[in-house]
Amino acid sequence: MDNRLGKIYISDALVGNVDSWQNMRRIMGLLIPIRVEHLAYRGQYEYYCLSTLFEPVPEFTQIPEYDVVVYQDGRVHFTKRPGGRGITPSPTVRAERPEAMPKIVIDGTKLASAVKKLQAGKAQAKPKSPGKRKRTGKRAKGGK
Per-residue pLDDT tens digits of the chain, which is 144 residues long: 689 999 999 998 888 888 888 889 999 999 999 999 999 999 999 999 999 999 999 988 999 999 998 888 888 999 998 865 443 333 333 333 334 433 334 444 444 555 556 556 554 444 555 556 666 666 655 655
Residue 135 placed within a domain: no
Question: Does the residue 64 lie in any domain?
Answer: yes
What is the span of the domain harbouring residue 50?
A: 5-115
Residue 139 lies in a domain: no
**Assigned domain for 14 exists:** yes
Tell me the residue type at 5.
L
Is residue 136 one of the residues assigned to a domain? Answer: no
Q: Is residue 68 part of a domain?
A: yes
Q: Is residue 86 part of a domain?
A: yes
What is the C-alpha to C-alpha distance for residues 47 and 58, in angstroms, rounded to an integer? 19
Number of domains in the chain: 1
One-letter amino acid of 60 = F
